Amino acid sequence: MRVLDEWDRRLFTRVAAARVPGADPALRRLSRSADHGRLWLGTAAGLALVGGRAPRRAALRGVGSLAIASLTVNTVVKWSTRRPRPLLEHVPSVRHLKRQPHTTSFPSGHSASAAAFATGVALESAGYGALVAPFAAAVAFSRVYVGVHYPGDVLAGMAIGVAAAALTCHWWPPRPALPARERPSAPAPALPGGEGLVVFVNTPAGTGAPGTPLPPAERLRG
């Protein structure tokens, strides 16, 4: 753990020292836009307005995944780790957020929400997922760039987000992209008097007709 912590801090220092032209105001605004999931809720509303079953399912699964990830991070994980936030001395002041977060650093809640929403959307629609994924990745990176999280916090948050989206499949399986292919039909020869016909009766499945006095075998024989 000590080696990982040292690697995490070194990588944070490198990101803090990086200079990406035009990225300072853009990433700072993008990071703030994701506060309280506003960016993703707005995206979900846009998907719902597009119309069609796939966008609506994508929006619903994305929001559901976000809710699970946010609840997990903010009520369980953050209060069990208590990792301090990075020091801002290595981060240029132009990147600083106006309001610095006061919660613990591990894991990144913004990254968890971003990954959860993007994964949830992708599970229902690969196309819409591909559109959302770059913004989710940018939000996750922005949390390190503005100096409020270590890279390890972001990676852990993204892992929680992906897991939250996958968990939704347990209760609500994604709709398959393509309908199942039907088997080709084949001609069936006529059986005079039912000669040679074999019928399998699954008695535990029930009669299929409540209140019928005859058992399934007798009904089929008749």
Mean pLDDT over each residue of the chain, to the nearest integer: 88
d(CA 53, CA 217): 43
> Residue 144 domain-assigned?
yes
Domain span holding position 154 = 2-94+104-171
3-state secondary structure of 178: coil
Residue 193 lies in a domain: no
**Degrees to nearest 5, angle at CA 64 with 61 and 65:** 85
Task: Give percent above pLDDT 90 in the chain.
Answer: 52
Q: Whole-angstrom Cα distance, residue 167 to residue 71?
A: 13
Residue 157 near residue 111, CB atoms below 8 Å? yes
For residue 175, the model assigns a pLDDT of 79
| 157 pLDDT more than 90 | yes
Predicted TM-score (pTM) of this structure: 0.77
Range among 23-32, 107-116, 200-209 with highest mean pLDDT value: 107-116
Asked whether residue 21 is assigned to any structural domain, the reply reads yes
Residues 6+ apart with CB under 8 A from 33: 39
pLDDT top residue among 180 and 162? 162
221 domain-assigned: no
Q: What percent of the chain has pLDDT over 70?
A: 94
Residue 178 lies in a domain: no
Over residues 18-43, the mean pLDDT reads 90
- Provide the pLDDT for residue 149: 93
Q: Is 76 among the domain residues? A: yes
Structural domains of the chain, count: 1
Give the pLDDT band of residue 127 (cuts 50, 70, 90). very high
Distance, in Å, from the CA atom of 203 to the CA atom of 216, rounded to the nearest integer, reads: 7
Whether 136 maps to a domain, the answer reads: yes
Residue 210 belongs to a domain = no
Task: Quote the pLDDT of residue 207.
Answer: 58
Burial of residue 61 (number of CB atoms within 10 Å: 0-12, 13-18, 19+): buried
